[in-house]
């Protein structure tokens, strides 16, 4: 999340707290799924591409109401979602050496 926090600090300083809260909420809501997929990735049951797709799909489905309520444009929400997915998948793939 530190890379994501740095991107937010540089690109969206006025929205930093709202965006970080939304990211934490998204991770909390999808934590069990991501943990299960981490185990499947580590066991070789999922490829790295399948893992990335699952995480991206899960994060995309989550309603980021706080971002919408804060008036963040859809394009910015998509940028944030992509950064969040990259942070999650990148960290997991590095840790697992995949």
Q: Which domain holds residue 89?
A: 2-96
CA dihedral defined by 25, 60, 44, 92, rounded to 10 degrees? -50
What is residue 21's predicted lDDT score, i.e. its pLDDT? Answer: 75
Evaluate if residue 34 carries a pLDDT over 60: yes
Is the pLDDT at 36 greater than 70, yes or no? yes
CB 58 within 8 A of CB 36: no
- For the chain, how many structural domains are there in total? 1
Q: Please provide the average confidence, as pLDDT, over all residues in the chain.
A: 78
């Amino acid at each position: 999340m530190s890379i994501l926090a740095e991107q937010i600090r540089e690109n969206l300083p006025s929205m930093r707290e709202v965006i970080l809260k939304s990211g934490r909420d998204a991770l909390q809501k999808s934590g069990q799924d991501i943990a299960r997929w981490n185990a499947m990735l580590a066991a070789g049951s999922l490829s790295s591409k399948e893992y990335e797709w699952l995480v991206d799909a899960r994060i995309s489905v989550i309603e980021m109401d706080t971002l919408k309520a804060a008036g963040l444009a859809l394009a910015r929400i998509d940028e944030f979602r992509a950064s969040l997915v990259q942070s999650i998948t990148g960290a997991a793939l590095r840790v697992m050496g995949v």
